[in-house]
Homo-oligomer: A and B are copies of this chain.
Amino acid sequence: MSHILGSRQAQKQKTRQAFLDAALELLEEQSLSSLGLREVTRAVGVAPTAFYRHFHSTADLGVALVEEALGSLHAMIGTTVSAAGDSEQRITRAVDLIARHVEAYPAHVRFIARERHGGVQPVREAIGAQLARFAEEVKAELAKQPESEGWGDDDLLMLAGLYVDQMLVTGSLFLETLEGDEEERERVARVATRRMRLISIGRRHWLG
């Protein structure tokens, strides 16, 4: 099997991507559980039945969207947590990176925030699995740092989860400021930075 696609499969993937894009846009003002199959095909400009050539259901489409929205983030996570500099510099850099990501992919961030606790079980599970992977990756990076000496495995995972959740909370806060002015975004960044700082201080004094 080759990674070179014939014009046949290439066209199929193109249509599939059109479905994902259209769905993501429609989902900015509704939830996945109310997204209709016909609604999506109408937005793409194909017949309703074409949908079944790509997905079993809208829930299936949702799971594919989870991969698209979170699958590409893993590399970023690692490099951010393991970045050079002291604690304060890493925090500033992380908050800035979240802000940029929200500006670059607002629909992705909105989708994850909305469907993490949404009404479609397979999608919730897919998001949960990805977030668990994130936590494991963050934990692995934290373990490499000298500040983690003497830490137990479960405490490291606890801290990693705290960071991951904080990342999501910060992301959705930035999301709410997207239609506002720059000053608002600055305020969110400052609060998020202080939250991370407090967590880092807690980490530093965790033992003993």
| Residues of A participating in the B interface, judged by any CB pair closer than 8 Å | 27, 29-34, 110, 113-114, 116-119, 121, 154-155, 158-159, 161-162, 165, 169, 172, 191, 194-195, 198-206
With a 10 A CB-CB cut-off, give which of A29, A30, A116 has the most chain B CB atoms: A30
Number of copies: 2
Known: A114-B118, A199-B198, A205-B201. A191 touches B158 (CB 8 A): yes
| Interchain CA distance A155-B200 in the complex, whole Å | 15
The residue on B at minimum CB distance from A175 is B117
Inter-chain contact B198/A162, CB cutoff 8 Å: yes
Q: What are 9 of the A-B contact pairs (CB < 8 Å)?
A: A29-B119, A30-B119, A110-B117, A113-B117, A117-B117, A158-B191, A158-B194, A158-B198, A199-B202
Chain B residues whose CB sits within 8 angstroms of the CB of A206 once the complex forms: 198, 201
Shortest distance in angstroms between A1's beta carbon and chain B's nearest beta carbon?
39
- The CB with the most chain B CB atoms within 10 A, among A114, A154, A161, A194, is that of A114
Q: How far is the CA of A162 from the CA of B163 in the complex (A)?
A: 12
Smallest CB separation, A80 vs chain B (Å): 20
Identify which of B34, B113, B155 contacts A31 (C-beta below 8 A).
Answer: B34
Judge whether B158 and A169 touch: CB under 8 Å. no
On chain B, the residues within 8 Å of A198 by CB distance are 158-159, 162, 199, 202-203, 206
Residue of B nearest to A114 (CB): B117
